[in-house]
């Protein structure tokens, strides 16, 4: 199946700093990628939809100036958590949409665990 | 909005037995459904999907059943193995893009 990677897998940062997380589709082109966050023992919550070459679409309640998304190419989307605070500590997961004919599937990255001190 | 932080429902199954994980969905306009498996500290892994015009689909050791009348989805795992221990999420997809996840069920396989 298709492979999606994320980097870094784990990051610890000080409060007030910015953190960039990369999401790459390794063997397919993804015009659309999605960013989720997941708190312990909870389900994945969609944060935003990242479209190549255009602005991201954010879900209600997600601050677009706080979580900057850039989908610069068909294989790369980045999420930057600006001025991170301890409450931003979470597991961030991206997914990429693969469209093969009429079959469409989303594949998920391994996740990035962010800890803000 | 954000879901409340509840403990995940847990299903404990003896190794070798069959497991059935259930999911209720709300939107009758969903185009298709996916089951994902998530191991601790990892991203979700695709297991199997089913389109809204189907009621059953089988994979390797897994079967998904869709009952649109009662908006219910189930995942059956045959001969459950310790490696099947994980959290399982059902997800509904509308417009072939937006994925909405269920709350998840933790499967615990007892050796």
pLDDT tens track for A42-81: 888 889 998 888 889 999 999 999 999 998 888 999 999 9
- What whole-number distance in Å separates Cα of residue B103 and Cα of residue B50? 19
**Beta-bridge partner residues of B63:** B58, B76
Query: Chain A contacts of B3, Cβ < 8 Å?
Result: 42-43, 45
DSSP-assigned letter for residue A42: S
For residue B45, the distance in angstroms to the closest alpha carbon of chain A comes to 7
Residue B60 burial by CB count (10 A; 0-12/13-18/19+): exposed, middle or buried? Answer: exposed
- What whole-number distance in Å separates Cα of residue A7 and Cα of residue A24? 9
Strand-strand pairing, B10-14 and B105-110: parallel
Nearest CB to B99: which of A42, A91, A106? A106
Is the CB of A61 less than 8 angstroms away from the CB of B2? yes
Say whether pLDDT at B104 is over 60: yes
Query: Chain B contacts of A49, Cβ < 8 Å?
Result: 97-98
Query: Chain B contacts of A95, Cβ < 8 Å?
Result: 44, 99
Assign B1 a pLDDT band (cuts: 50, 70, 90).
Answer: very low
- Residue-wise pLDDT for B2-55, tens only, equals 333 345 789 999 999 999 999 988 877 777 888 999 998 888 888 998 989 999
């Amino acid at each position: 199946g298709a492979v999606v990677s994320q980097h870094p897998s784990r990051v610890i940062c000080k409060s007030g700093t910015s953190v960039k997380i990369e999401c790459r589709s390794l063997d397919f082109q993804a015009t659309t990628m999605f960013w989720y966050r997941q708190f312990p023992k909870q389900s994945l919550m969609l944060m935003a939809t990242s479209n190549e070459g255009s602005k991201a679409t954010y879900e209600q309640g997600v601050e677009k100036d706080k979580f900057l998304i850039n989908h610069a190419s068909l294989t790369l989307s980045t999420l930057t958590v600006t001025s991170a605070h301890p409450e931003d500590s979470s597991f961030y997961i991206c997914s990429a949409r693969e469209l093969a004919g009429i079959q469409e599937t989303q594949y998920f990255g391994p996740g990035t665990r962010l800890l803000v001190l | 909005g954000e879901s409340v932080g509840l403990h995940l429902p847990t299903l404990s199954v003896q190794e070798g037995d069959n497991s059935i994980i259930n999911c209720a969905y709300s939107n009758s306009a969903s185009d298709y459904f996916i089951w994902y498996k998530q191991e601790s500290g990892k991203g979700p892994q695709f297991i199997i999907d089913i389109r809204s015009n189907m009621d059953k689909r089988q994979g390797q050791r897994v079967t998904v059943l869709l009952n649109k009348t009662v908006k219910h989805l189930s995942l059956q795992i045959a001969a459950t193995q310790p490696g099947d221990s994980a959290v399982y999420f059902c997800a509904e997809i509308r417009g072939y893009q937006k994925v909405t996840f269920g709350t998840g069920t933790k499967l615990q396989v007892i050796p």
